[in-house]
Structure 1
Amino acid sequence: MIIVLTGIDGSGKSTAARALVSSVRAQGGRALLLNNHAGRRVMSLLAARLGVRLPTRLADAVETSLRVGNVLVSHLRASRFDGLVVMDRHLHCQLALRTANGLPRGRFLPWLLARLPEPDAIFHLDIDHAQAHRRIVARGTDAESLDDLAAFQAGYRELPEYAGFVTVDASVPVEQLASELAARLASNGAATGCGLST
């Protein structure tokens, strides 16, 4: 099965994904973590260091290219794996960023989403943007403003696909978040062959 984790920066997607995969493996299940990054962290650090902000359309073009490439490779790898596949981010993230930046949704990403295998679940890690910002500042590996995070959060909620997301409270400690994700998967009975249990 394939699950996708979405959410604004600082919501704990990567940490929760690693914890969930580790938990499944510890229970004797098979799990694979695939990252669908778009280089936003590197670009934000570079822009902050240079004291510039990349033009919105240029940043989107770079991020979209990287994200699409990673998503396609991830789905190829997932098709060859027997177990739970956890994807950290997906094309929905780029669509939410476009909305946040006032860019049109476009046709290509929705077209591609409709043709890729549909995930068994999309878990949206929901967190207050101020708390997410505090986490980002604490880790010190990237830079995001409060306004950007608030716009990103609103961008997710405006997606037509958002109604089908499973919203999970991401303000809790990562161990609790990973347990909640595992419990939701197990309660659906969808993860029986992956070694998940409540």
Structure 2
Amino acid sequence: MSHDRNDRLNYALIAVEGVDGSGKSTLARGLVDALSAGDGALLARPCREMIGVFRALVERSDDESVFYQDVVPGDLRHSLYVLEGLLQFRYQGPLFEQYDAVVFDRWFHTSAVYCGSVIDDRAWYARLADVIPRPDVLFWLRVDPDLACRRLMERGDRWTRVYSEAGLREKIERLCAGYEREMRGTGAVVLDASAEPGEVLARATAVLAERGLLVPALSESQ
């Protein structure tokens, strides 16, 4: 999908991708704050409704070891995330239009990395996915698996309470390898996740300013 497919959007569409522990959510929140001039920016996430459904169906409050990702087949999750993505832009479009920018914490590359490929009717789902607008800027926080694991352990992430240290590292290594594969050729702006959060945010906002996606007043103040 080429950039001109976004000409129908009246707001800047920005997405941040990366494995758990890469600092992705921190950057997304920082970008929303940086874009707060004018009509402001909205923080959004893809596929939240279906994730909530899967959790309600599979997970239990008294057993943290059960993850919906380990029960619901990955190709089913991926296909339903594509459908939700279409509906999200269809029905939340009026909300998005109220802002100068919408910043997504994750994008649909996450589905490919965490769920694998759609198996049945792959070509049909690919056509549906192509209707979803592409971000004006897609940031990818590239992180070393050791650093991602250390950050998850420091914040007491649920994964660290279920997986052994070796199991967590194997999972993060696999996901990082998936991002290396999926982000190839996407045109994503690669950011070094090992840098301090402020440095990462400064680099990201500089990219937005270069592309004319920061309002002039904010660009001049930096």
Q: What TM-score, normalized by structure 2, do the two folds share? A: 0.70
**Which deviates the most, 76-85 or 174-183?**
76-85
Matching residue of 2:42: 32
Matching residue of 2:198: 175
Q: Distance in 1 between matches of 2:62 and 2:170?
A: 16
| Equivalenced residues, count | 193
Matching residue of 2:9: none
**Alpha-carbon distance change, 49 to 131 in structure 1, aligned in 2, over 3 angstroms:** farther
Deviation string, structure 1 residues 61-89 (Cα, Å, up to 9, x no partner): 34763675367425634652341211111
Q: Distance in 2 between matches of 1:18 and 1:89?
A: 12
Q: Distance in 1 between matches of 2:65 and 2:150?
A: 21
1:29 and 1:194 in contact (8 A); partners too: no
1:95 and 1:109 in contact (8 A); partners too: no
The answer as to 2:103 corresponding to 1:92 is: no
**Which deviates the most, 165-174 or 51-60?**
51-60
- From 108, 112, 135, give the equivalent of 1:119: 135
Sequence identity, in percent?
Answer: 26
Q: Distance in 1 between matches of 2:62 and 2:140?
A: 28
**Aligned counterparts, 1:34-183, within 5 A:** 34-36=44-46, 39=51, 49=63, 51=65, 56=70, 58-60=72-74, 61-62=76-77, 65=80, 68-69=83-84, 72-73=87-88, 76-77=92-93, 79-99=96-116, 106-107=122-123, 109-143=125-159, 145-159=168-182, 162-183=185-206
Q: What letter is aligned with 1:69?
A: E
Return the index of the structure with the highest Cα Rg.
Answer: 2
| Structure 1: gaps of 5 or more residues | none
* 3-state SS of paired residue (2:26): helix
Deviation at 1:19, TM superposition (A): 1.2
Deviation at 1:185, TM superposition (A): 0.8
**Alpha-carbon distance change, 7 to 178 in structure 1, aligned in 2, over 3 angstroms:** same
Q: Alpha carbon RMSD of aligned pairs, Å? A: 3.5
1:30 and 1:194 in contact (8 A); partners too: no
Q: Distance in 2 between matches of 1:175 and 1:68?
A: 35
Q: What TM-score, normalized by structure 1, do the two folds share? A: 0.77
